Amino acid sequence: MQINQQFNPSKGSWQCARCRTPLEPGHVALNYLENSFRVGVLVCPRCRQALIPEDMATGKMLEVEKLLEDK
């Protein structure tokens, strides 16, 4: 499975706010309205907390949410 680099922040060294561990590229499942989407993002190797960049949250993640919510 390819990790989608465009979901990673453009710069900076990120660490987990909870356990202070440096984040690493990984995968998480986004679950919404009975659907599940596996995406590549930075995750904490210890607690699995993930960083969702703002452009992802306000971009295609929002677009998918609207489609699932329907009209």
Partner 1 sequence: MDQNEHTQSLCPICLNRIPARRVLDGSSVYLEKQCPVHGDFSTVIWRGEPAFSKWKRPKWPSRPPVCKTEINAGCPFDCGLCPDHAQHTCTTLVEVTRRCNLNCPVCFAKSGNEVVDPDLNTIREQILSIRQSAGACTLQISGGEPTVRDDLPEIVSFAAGQGFALVQLNTNGLRFAEEPQYAETLEQAGLESVFLQFDAVCDPPYERLRGRPLWEKKKQAVTALARAGIGVVLVPTLVPGVNTEEAGAIIRFALSRHPAVRGVHFQPVSYFGRYPHTPADEDRLTLPELMCAIELQTQGLICTADFMPPGCEHALCSFHAAFQVTESGMLKRVGGGCCNTAPIEAAAGARQNVLLTGQRWRHPPAGTQLKINETDDLDRFLYETRTRSFTVSAMVFQDAWSLDLERLRGCCIHVSAPDGRLIPFCAYNITASEGQPLYRRINGQKPLTAQSKMAP
Contact footprint for partner 1 (CB under 8 A)? 2, 4, 6-7, 30, 33-40, 60-61, 63-64, 66-71
* Helix and strand numbers, DSSP H then E, in the chain: 2, 3
For the CB of residue 63, give the shortest distance to partner 1 in the complex, in Å. 6
Q: How far apart are CA 26 and CA 7, in angstroms?
A: 11
Q: Classify 34 in phi/psi space as left (phi over 0), alpha (psi -120 to 50) or beta.
A: left
Q: What are phi and psi of 40, to 5 degrees?
A: -95, 125
**By C-beta, is 21 or 39 nearer to partner 1?**
39
For the CB of residue 29, give the shortest distance to partner 1 in the complex, in Å. 9
**By C-beta, is 15 or 64 nearer to partner 1?**
64
For the CB of residue 3, give the shortest distance to partner 1 in the complex, in Å. 9
